[in-house]
Amino acid sequence: MRLSHTLTLTAMLAASTLVAPLALADAEDFPAKDVQYVIPFGPGGESDISARLQQKYFEEITGQQLIIQYMPGGGGAVGWSQLNDMTADGHTIMGSNLPHIVLKPMGKDAGFATEDVNNFYFFHYSPDAILVREDSPYQTLEDLVEAARQAPGVVTFSGSGTYSANDVANTRFQQLADVTTTYIPFKGTGAAVTALLGGQVQAEWGYTTVAANHQDKVRMLAVAAEERHPLFPDVPTFQELGYDMVGGAYRGMAVPSETPEEVQARLSEIFDQINQNPQFRQEMEDLGFVLMDVGNDDVADFLAEQSQQYETSARELGLID
Amino acid sequence: MDLIVHALGALSPLNLALALLGVTAGIVIGALPGLSATMAVAVLVPVTFGMAPESALIMLGAIYTGAIYGGSYSAILVNTPGTPSAIATTFDGYPMARRGDGDLAVTLSTIASVVGGLVGVLALLLLAPLLAQVALSFGPVEYFWLAIFGLTLISALSEDSTLKGFMGAGFGLLLSTVGVAVIGGDIRYTYGSPVLLGGIETVSALIGLYCIPVLIDLVATPAAHLKVDGVSRGVRFREGMAIAIKGKLNLLRSATIGTGVAILPGAGGSIASLVSYSEARRVADEPASFGKGNPQGVLATEAANNATVGGGFIPTLVLGIPGTPPDAVILGALLVQGFRTGPELFTTNAGITYTFVAGLFLATCLLLPLGLLIGRYAFKSIISIPKALLVPTIAFMTVIGTYAIRNSASDVVIMLCLGVLGWVLNRYGFRPSPIVLGLILGPIAEQGFVQGFLMGRASGSLFATFFGGPISLTIIALSLLSVFYPMVKARREARRQDKTINGEASP
């Protein structure tokens, strides 16, 4: 039967992720074989797309393939709770996202702790941004803040998920601007932008990437990055407007805790090399991402700094007391 | 004019070969329970990075088209919908196969898929910008009512007992709440175990609830899986065409419904095929024969679910909002290739757009010869393999398929548990379809309700939010109709019978 042929293939694929060779790889000849890149979300999202862009360059540098797999569920929790059960030889890596890995474990029964996710590199972030529809009466951030101030709770924002980057951004902004808005969580950025385009909400907490994708239909009022994004030279940053907000959804890679130090360092080196490739940088910027190079040695400091910020927001959100 | 140039471009020998390969691979993958269209497309994406953009697009469209169609094989021959959109195909497809008409059912599904697919692609080509605007007018509240409407279809679909249908749906709704809630982030019914964090995956539930009971029955009864007449009757194409021509209204109506519902991101396929199925039954002369192997039932669902391919691409390409999970993967691939959605779709990007549409068109046409050929082969394998071999083969496929959906061993355990449960419930007259419907529609209803509630509270009028819009009111009316129509009809028939009896009694 032809069917069983395809099946054997799938079985082999499945088995290869379960039973990886026992030999420990040396850092010098790492990677000795293809590297499995597990994305703890479904295909088609930003984690997937940015990983797809890395794929090509990984092969150029190492001669081995980067094979992308998906392990969706529980907003990433299903994947991260299994990370440390995977083969710790560096040939299995997993996508890692902030603020997810910090905020999720603050709730109960998340299945993993923040420390369980052993990050070795953070390579980019999608800066938070406030978007309105192109025909919206709100021309500037000040217009929107004014409206929210006059009628507390009436201005509605769509966003992706609860206790997510968008939720955190909204909480922080309410605090900084001293206004009350209504945040309406949707399942994913796609659904959130649909609500904005359909006029069901007045504004959206999104990212520069959303604006890049819907350039003709939305207006971005402010960007939570340190500098203006090259794609949107006319859109001010929050800092320029007097709100101390820099942040968004950060993406990186993690390995199981037992992975040898040298291998982690080598992985960090490879992905840093990808990050410096001008073509890769261009492709990422065109989609609205902002690159960052937080390598193996700096990850701990970076995480500590971010966690502190998230903790404040989590307290605001009522996630912890 | 552009279209013709690009369509001709799509016909280069290499592209044609890729389309053939894509459709074939798609059909085979789609036919295996659990190996879904999403996965087929996702696996192929890295392969297409090395190709010219046109070839890549043609291949992706071809594999998607093939996979959606291939899902009908397992629905008809093994009673297992490969995707949620093939649920209704099992209603009449499997009974047809049981009585020895599996080959005819596969042929009908092929014809219907081609017709439906073409209608969907035409809509994508001609009406895309217009229909995309319609999609945007569906907000959270409209989705909430749409999910409620989907649930009321249960009363129409549970022939024997409406009450049991609703009970099953209630159970499905409960199952849908397991895991991390999208809104609110609460963790529900996981009993502290990370296994249930991700909730119950729809396709693994489908495999469990539909396929496992069939396997158990196969082992428990000595009779052959499908009845065979012993004579090979070919693909029965002429017979199939005759039925399709007789049901041409049904085909067109179902394809239109399929396209229309598919433009709503997230709701798509499963609702589309159910609505067209219940419509086909409502207008039929003998509605009672539906569910017992009426060929028109197969025509309706298969026309509808293949129409969702073209329909689903409307919001994907025009708005950048993927209509279905495979659309999301293809959109991702397009973005990586440098494609941007929006108004440039038919201007700057016209080349890519038209090539893609032409590729879908080509793939849909290829379904006819390839589908008939592979379908015949699949049918023959299923009837000629001895039961002792068939059962373990299918069982193995269900396990691998379930595992592969999201690389999860716990999904396999959940699938098996639901399977056994489904078998027991089946014996007490509870069908799997209401349960699965509850599972699929639960999150749509829940999210829509909470979002609508938040919107209503912000605007100061909950009532106007939920009952104010014309679309909401229309869907509410349709829901009421679908709940009460069977009762009204029953009463009318009773009265008519009364009359005839009285008429005969009086001299």
Cβ-defined contact of B443 to A74 (cutoff 8 Å): no
Let me know how many helices (H) and strands (E) chain B has, helices first.
21, 2
For chain B positions 446-485, those within 8 Å of chain A (CB to CB) are 447, 451, 454-455, 457-460
pLDDT tens-digit series, residues A217-231: 999 999 999 999 999
Interface check A4 vs B, CB under 8 A: yes
- Sorting pLDDT into bands at 50, 70 and 90, what band is B230? low
Interface check A152 vs B, CB under 8 A: no
The residue of chain B nearest to residue A39, with distances taken between CA atoms, is B406
Name the more confident of B72 and B336: B72
What domains can you pick out in chain A, each with its CATH number?
33-125+248-317 (3.40.190.150), 126-223 (3.40.190.10)
Please state which of the ranges A6-15, A29-38, B90-99 shows the lowest mean pLDDT: A6-15
User: Does the pLDDT at position B13 exceed 90?
Assistant: no
Sort out which chain A residues have CB atoms less than 8 A from B198's CB and list them. Answer: 72-74, 77-78
Please state which of the ranges B164-168, B285-289, B346-350 shows the lowest mean pLDDT: B346-350
Comparing CA positions, the residue from B194, B175, B404 lying closest to residue A76 is B194
User: Does the pLDDT at position A1 exceed 70?
Assistant: no
ipTM exceeding cut-off 0.90 for this assembly? no
Please state, in angstroms and rounded to a whole number, the distance separating the CA atoms of residues A81 and A266.
24
In chain B, % of residues over pLDDT 90: 35
pLDDT tens-digit series, residues B249-277: 999 999 999 998 888 877 667 778 888 99
Q: How far is B456 from chain A (nearest CA, A)?
A: 10
* Cβ count within 10 A of residue A19: 9
* Cβ count within 10 A of residue B452: 23
Sort out which chain A residues have CB atoms less than 8 A from B343's CB and list them. Answer: 216
pLDDT of residue B130: 86
For chain A positions 6-45, those within 8 Å of chain B (CB to CB) are 6-7, 10-11, 13-14, 17, 38, 42-45
Phi then psi dihedrals of residue B8, to 5 deg = -65, -40
Q: What is the mean pLDDT of residues B342-366?
A: 82
User: Does the pLDDT at position B133 exceed 90?
Assistant: no
Facing residue for A109 by CB, picked from B184, B187, B457:
B187
DSSP string covering B329-392: HHHHHHHHTT---SGGGGTTTHHHHHHHHHHHHHHHHHHHHHHHHHHHHHHHHHHHS-HHHHHH
User: Does the pLDDT at position A108 exceed 60?
Assistant: yes
**Amino acid code (one letter) for B484:** F
Dmax over Cα atoms in chain B, in whole Å? 85
Comparing CA positions, the residue from B191, B119, B100, B165 lying closest to residue B383 is B100
Q: What is the pTM of this model?
A: 0.87
Q: How far is B185 from chain A (nearest CA, A)?
A: 5
In 3-state terms, what secondary structure has residue B501? helix
Cβ-defined contact of A78 to B197 (cutoff 8 Å): yes
Facing residue for B197 by CB, picked from A7, A77, A217:
A77
Mean pLDDT score across all residues of chain A: 89
Which two three-digit tokens encode residue A319? 């996630």
User: Does the pLDDT at position A3 exceed 90?
Assistant: no
pLDDT of residue B1: 55
Please state, in angstroms and rounded to a whole number, the distance separating the CA atoms of residues B504 and B507.
7
Say how many CB pairs under 8 Å bridge A and B: 194
Sort out which chain B residues have CB atoms less than 8 A from A156's CB and list them. Answer: 454-455, 458
pLDDT of residue A18: 47
Q: What is the mean pLDDT of residues B372-379?
A: 90
Facing residue for A213 by CB, picked from B49, B320, B457:
B320
Q: How far is B496 from chain A (nearest CA, A)?
A: 48
- Sorting pLDDT into bands at 50, 70 and 90, what band is B496? confident
Please state, in angstroms and rounded to a whole number, the distance separating the CA atoms of residues B184 and B450.
9
Comparing CA positions, the residue from B265, B326, B327, B317 lying closest to residue A186 is B265
User: Does the pLDDT at position B159 exceed 70?
Assistant: no
Q: Assess contact for B241 and B107: CB atoms under 8 A.
A: no
pLDDT of residue A213: 86
Q: How far is A294 from chain B (nearest CA, A)?
A: 24
pLDDT of residue A140: 96
Count Cα neighbours of B398 within 13 Å in the Cβ-side half-sphere: 31
Q: CB neighbours of B249 closer than 8 A, spacing ≥ 6?
A: none
Which two three-digit tokens encode residue B299? 């025509």
Helix axes B350-384, A2-18, angle to 10 degrees: 110
Dmax over Cα atoms in chain A, in whole Å? 70
Rounded to 5°, the CA angle A65-A70-A75 comes to 140
Where in chain B are the domains?
2-495
pLDDT tens-digit series, residues B14-55: 889 999 999 999 999 888 876 778 888 888 887 777 788 778
Please state, in angstroms and rounded to a whole number, the distance separating the CA atoms of residues B262 and B272.
7
Please state, in angstroms and rounded to a whole number, the distance separating the CA atoms of residues B63 and B41.
7
Q: SS3 letters for B128-155?
A: HHHHHHHHHCCCHHHHHHHHHHHHHHHH
For chain A positions 284-303, those within 8 Å of chain B (CB to CB) are 286-287
Interface check A184 vs B, CB under 8 A: yes
pLDDT of residue B47: 79
